Chain A
Amino acid sequence: MSRFLTPATLDEALNALSHPGAKVLAGGTDLMLALRQARLSGTELPELILDVTRLPELGRLELDGPAYYLGAGLTFRCLEEDPRVARRIPVLAQAAATVGSMQVRQTATIGGNVANASPAADGLSALVALDAVAEIASLGGMRHCPLGELITAPNKTTLAQGELILGYALDPPAETRGQAFLKVGRRQEVAVSRLNLAACLDRELSDPRVVLGSCFPTPRRLRDVEELIQGATPGPELWRAAGEKAAGHFTDVCGWRASATYKVPAIARITARALSRAWAQLEARS
């Protein structure tokens, strides 16, 4: 039987978390599944379940000042519906809207999403495209870690026992950045991502970001695709070429496995489409 604790302060949370055998509940949509599995198979339950969702530190949402900050306890539903998120970081609003069902979006958080590092997690690609840096607390103090380094393999992160993600600092995308998120799944809603793509473009194409998720072990920025776009002439030609290049990554990383027949052209198409949407968004603003 597990004990359940809802700490009122961050100190209390970090103290409790420093004991081995403590597990964080950051919404519960993944943890409760794991617990169900453990109960069915008779394996050991965590000694302590620590519900961090009520900590005020994790509920911060700052998109007005010069530095953007998203608390790890924000739910996908909140990100999907907050008008500031939709305006300032639409790529995350769009990604949040595609996560699970309404019931899941209501409880699942961007903290849990990253800590569990599911390869199918939709939120991750968008956060990587926004250059999110995780702020991680433990009794020993605070550390900062770019998301790309925090997630090392499917369901693996560099988080140690005792560490808690408080939130993410984002560099504010210039107001003039177009952003788009697209996902391919088996059905339109509630589908587990098979591929997803997050794109951010600035008007000069000086710092394009293209992140492919779900089909790789961890979400990754496609640096060579970004280089191809950098400083080039925007338009359908360029988006198509970028798509082809992106598709090349799949066979490089994953080899020619059976799903490649389907995934390779799908990557080319969603990449081109996401870039063209991000660009259209910029045009619409001018």
Chain B
Amino acid sequence: MPLEFTLNGQKVSLEDVPGEATLLEVLRQRLGMLGAKEGCGVGECGACTVLLDGKAVNGCLTAAWQAAGRQIATVEGLAQGDELHPMQRGFVETGAVQCGFCTPGMILTSLDLVEQEPVPGDQQIRRALAGNLCRCTGYHDVVRAVRRGAKYMRGEGEEQ
């Protein structure tokens, strides 16, 4: 039986996916989606975060088959052509991206947060991103980035 799910709005169908395969390896190795990264492989770093039916999950702790029939979103699906997603713009403009390894996970986790909390406070942002580790930025700019991205998503303009 093929494994079928929706990836960034497109149906995908894969043959011969073993039961023990993680969603992360299937995305990276079978589907060429390299946005989600394997940092630790054991659920500690959040670099592998993707959205499963809109909710942030660790791709390394999710069996590929858990995605069957569901919607998966990865960072590749966010921009519309050359137009970045508002949350991506927030990250770029605040300098919250250094090496960028953690960024896809940070952005997707933030989208899950903003979905429930359109005007997130700093504490809420820090709490939501507690499972996303960054080796470079020190998090300060990441919090600003999420605030700014959330603002753009609400259709409001530049932050003062």
Spell out A's residues near B (CB within 8 Å): 1-4, 6, 25, 28-29, 32-33, 35-36, 38-39, 45, 48-49, 51, 53, 77, 81, 100-104, 106-107, 188-190
**In the complex, which residues of chain B have a beta carbon less than 8 angstroms from the beta carbon of A39?**
20
Shortest 8 CB-CB contacts between residues of A and residues of B: A101-B131, A189-B130, A4-B19, A2-B19, A4-B65, A1-B18, A49-B19, A103-B58
Cβ of B6 within 8 Å of any chain A Cβ, yes or no, is no
Q: Tell me, in angstroms, the Cα distance from A107 to B130 when the chains sit together.
A: 16
**In the complex, which residues of chain A have a beta carbon less than 8 angstroms from the beta carbon of B127?**
102, 189
Q: Tell me, in angstroms, the Cα distance from A125 to B21 when the chains sit together.
A: 33
The answer to whether A103 and B46 touch across the interface, beta carbons within 8 angstroms, is: yes
The answer to whether A35 and B20 touch across the interface, beta carbons within 8 angstroms, is: yes
**In the complex, which residues of chain B have a beta carbon less than 8 angstroms from the beta carbon of A104?**
43, 58, 61, 131
The answer to whether B131 and A102 touch across the interface, beta carbons within 8 angstroms, is: yes
Contact of A33 among B61, B113, B128 (CB under 8 A): B61
Q: Tell me, in angstroms, the Cα distance from A38 to B18 when the chains sit together.
A: 14
Cβ of B88 within 8 Å of any chain A Cβ, yes or no, is no
The answer to whether A100 and B19 touch across the interface, beta carbons within 8 angstroms, is: no
* Cβ distance A25 to chain B, nearest Cβ, rounded Å: 6
**In the complex, which residues of chain A have a beta carbon less than 8 angstroms from the beta carbon of B55?**
77, 106
Inter-chain pairs besides A28-B63, A102-B113, 11 sampled, C-beta below 8 Å: A2-B19, A4-B19, A28-B62, A39-B20, A49-B63, A101-B130, A102-B127, A103-B58, A104-B61, A107-B61, A189-B127
**In the complex, which residues of chain B have a beta carbon less than 8 angstroms from the beta carbon of A4?**
18-19, 63, 65
Interface string of B86-120 (1 = CB under 8 A from A): 00000000000000000000000100110010000
Q: A1-B18, A28-B66, A51-B65 known; A102 and B112 CB under 8 Å? A: yes
Cβ of B77 within 8 Å of any chain A Cβ, yes or no, is no
Q: Tell me, in angstroms, the Cα distance from A81 to B112 when the chains sit together.
A: 14
The answer to whether A36 and B19 touch across the interface, beta carbons within 8 angstroms, is: no
The answer to whether B43 and A33 touch across the interface, beta carbons within 8 angstroms, is: yes
**In the complex, which residues of chain A have a beta carbon less than 8 angstroms from the beta carbon of B49?**
103
Spell out B's residues near A (CB within 8 Å): 18-20, 22, 41-44, 46, 49, 52, 55-58, 60-63, 65-66, 68, 109, 112-113, 116, 126-128, 130-132
* Cβ distance B160 to chain A, nearest Cβ, rounded Å: 29
The answer to whether B109 and A2 touch across the interface, beta carbons within 8 angstroms, is: no
Q: A32-B60, A106-B55, A106-B57 known; A100 and B131 CB under 8 Å? A: yes
Question: Looking across the interface, which residue of chain B has its beta carbon closest to that of A45?
Answer: B20
Contact of B42 among A33, A45, A102 (CB under 8 A): A33
* Cβ distance B88 to chain A, nearest Cβ, rounded Å: 20
**In the complex, which residues of chain A have a beta carbon less than 8 angstroms from the beta carbon of B128?**
102
Q: Give me 28 A-to-B residue pairs in the complex whose CB atoms sit less than 8 angstroms apart, sorted by A's number.
A: A1-B18, A1-B20, A4-B65, A25-B66, A29-B58, A32-B62, A32-B63, A39-B20, A48-B19, A51-B63, A51-B65, A51-B66, A100-B43, A101-B132, A102-B109, A102-B113, A102-B131, A103-B49, A103-B56, A103-B61, A103-B109, A103-B131, A104-B61, A106-B55, A107-B57, A107-B58, A189-B130, A189-B131
Contact of A102 among B60, B66, B130 (CB under 8 A): B130
Q: Tell me, in angstroms, the Cα distance from A6 to B69 when the chains sit together.
A: 11
* Cβ distance B56 to chain A, nearest Cβ, rounded Å: 5
Question: Looking across the interface, which residue of chain B has its beta carbon closest to that of A31?
Answer: B63
Q: Tell me, in angstroms, the Cα distance from A2 to B57 when the chains sit together.
A: 22
**In the complex, which residues of chain B have a beta carbon less than 8 angstroms from the beta carbon of A45?**
20
* Cβ distance A50 to chain B, nearest Cβ, rounded Å: 10
Q: Tell me, in angstroms, the Cα distance from A92 to B130 when the chains sit together.
A: 20
